[in-house]
Amino acid sequence: MSYRYRFASAKKENVDKLKDMSIDELKRFLSEANPSALDGEGYVQIWELFGQKEFYDFFGCDFVNKISEKGIPLFTASDTAEELSGYDAKVCNKDVLLFAIDELRKSIQNYLQVLSEDESCAKAHLTTKAREWQLSSEWFPCDNMSDEKVAEMNARHLPYNIDVNNPRIINSARFEYTIFELVYAYKHFDWENNYLIFYGW
């Protein structure tokens, strides 16, 4: 079982070309078409496999097994599925994405309930929140930094992401922000042309 799971968007044509191959066929194909998807010992690196774009990291989530149970195994050939079982790779539909959103909502709700019952934890949480929404340059010494570097640092530190070249909308790893990455995906995912892939490594 993998230790850190992701959601990724992969073009159907890229996945359909590979998902039914035996492990030997897959490795032969990759050695010519996409060598970066094989490590030095010839093991398949799933994060390089389909040219996919990872858009959510489930780090710290305790419900990834439930998501895995709802997905459909990605690899259909038994030898490929066995060799790559450590990635626990699944194809997920819109219902699974909605399930992940709701599980994350429950985690946030439980966390906030704990905070509401502990004044010192609540105060620490609010202090952290206030710092997150403050520009880095307001508390970090940057006298020797160029204006461009200061702007870069400020943009990277804030919870939201306004970089038009970055598809992510959130910088923060906190659940109460990252849930909106999943909501955005739920509303905008191109189900007609892409697969929603769930896997870990």
> DSSP string of 161-184?
---TT---SB----HHHHHHHHHH
Provide the pLDDT confidence category of residue 2 given band limits of 50, 70 and 90.
low
Rounded Cα distance, 149 and 22, in Å = 49
Of all residues in the chain, what percent carry a pLDDT higher than 70?
99
Provide the pLDDT confidence category of residue 59 given band limits of 50, 70 and 90.
confident
| DSSP E strand boundaries for the chain | 5-11, 53-57, 72-73, 90-92, 194-200
CB–CB of 104/179 below 8 Å?
A: yes
pTM above 0.85, yes or no: yes
| Average pLDDT score over residue span 141-156 | 84
CB–CB of 196/67 below 8 Å?
A: no
Q: Which residue would you say has higher pLDDT here, 87 or 173?
A: 87
What is residue 32's predicted lDDT score, i.e. its pLDDT?
A: 94
Domain boundaries along the sequence of the chain: 5-93+191-200
What is residue 53's predicted lDDT score, i.e. its pLDDT?
A: 93
Residue 7's DSSP bridge partners are 56, 198
